[in-house]
Amino acid sequence: MNEVSDVRDWLRASPRVIALTGAGMSAESGIPTFRGLDGLWRNYNPQDLATPEAFERNPTVVWEWYDWRRGLIAAAEPNPGHYALAQLEATNHVSIISQNVDGLHTRAGSTHVIEIHGSIWRTRCTSCDRTQSNLKPHLTTLPPLCEDCGQLLRPGVVWFGENLPPMAWEASVEAVSTADILLVIGTSGIVYPAAQLVPIAKDAGAKVVEINLEATALSSQVDATLLGPSGQILPKLVQ
């Protein structure tokens, strides 16, 4: 069985496509994943960097890590996988639910992108909640302070133990509930509630296809797994 050509046929018969993407989607752009061999969590402890408690303890250390990642991402380009998903909009109704904070889907031209873990390009005031877009690769002073109230700004991302932005989460549940096919791309599927979108889609009748270098926590729930780099598989699916 040629699974790539089978999934290509499924896509042709699926007007509404949802893609749930994770760090593996951007790996071929040179952005490290979290849990892979050279993943961010191999060198850094998430408890020290990606929790509200870590930020309260040491905002400068957390900001230095995010500022380093901003520099990496600013220097990166979308890869053929990002462009293939953007190109799919020519033939299908496509929404992307991304756990990534890098903004590369939008840079590749995708127009319906829900960022469920926020964006590294936004800051939010810890006091007055003012949210701002800041596209500079590096911030001038760390930690940055709010121009309105002078209090500490934080990265506009979702840390462990924090709720996802309610509107983004509701839109995601709605999207997978009405999907014909869900593509689950480059995610280990162990972070919740993002991973919950897979059973929600399945229960609502969507076909689920996983694209990953290896089997994941979600593999037993999907209709097909395409093993390989998403930057190579997605262009073949969209051809």
> How do strand 93-98 and strand 131-133 relate by DSSP bridges?
unpaired
Residues forming the site for Zn ion (CB under 5 A)? 125, 127-128, 130, 146, 148-149
CB-nearer residue toward ligand BJW: 24 or 144? 24
Q: Which of 93, 112, 117, 138 is flagged as catalytic? A: 117
CB-nearer residue toward ligand BJW: 17 or 234? 234
Residues forming the site for ligand BJW (CB under 6 A)? 22-24, 27-28, 33-36, 39, 50, 99, 101, 117, 157-163, 186-188, 190-193, 211-214, 216, 229-231
H or E segment to which residue 70 belongs: helix 59-75
Edge-to-edge strands, sheet with 153-157: 131-133, 118-125, 153-157
List all residues 6 or more positions away from 166 whose beta carbon is below 8 Å from its beta carbon: none
Cα–Cα distances in angstroms (integers) from residue 187 to residues 1, 33, 51, 221, 229, in the given order: 25, 9, 20, 14, 12
CB-nearer residue toward ligand BJW: 40 or 125? 40
Q: Report the nearest approach of Zn ion to the CB of residue 144 (Å).
A: 11
CB-nearer residue toward Zn ion: 47 or 127? 127
- Choose among Zn ion, ligand BJW, none what residue 125 binds, the Cβ cut-off being 5 to 8 Å by kind: Zn ion
List all residues 6 or more positions away from 85 whose beta carbon is below 8 Å from its beta carbon: 19, 94, 96, 105, 108, 110, 234, 238
- Choose among ligand BJW, Zn ion, none what residue 22 binds, the Cβ cut-off being 5 to 8 Å by kind: ligand BJW
- Choose among ligand BJW, Zn ion, none what residue 148 binds, the Cβ cut-off being 5 to 8 Å by kind: Zn ion
Cα first-last separation, the chain: 19
CB-nearer residue toward Zn ion: 149 or 204? 149
- Choose among Zn ion, ligand BJW, none what residue 146 binds, the Cβ cut-off being 5 to 8 Å by kind: Zn ion
Nearest Cα to Cα of residue 229 among 50, 28, 92, 55: 28
Q: Report the nearest approach of Zn ion to the CB of residue 38 (Å).
A: 37
- Choose among ligand BJW, Zn ion, none what residue 174 binds, the Cβ cut-off being 5 to 8 Å by kind: none
Q: Report the nearest approach of ligand BJW to the CB of residue 150 (Å).
A: 25
**10 vs 211: CA distance, rounded Å:** 14
Q: What angle do CA 173, 214, 97 make, to 5 degrees?
A: 20
Is 105 one of the annotated active-site residues of the chain? no
**40 vs 135: CA distance, rounded Å:** 22
The residues annotated with a catalytic role in the active site are 117
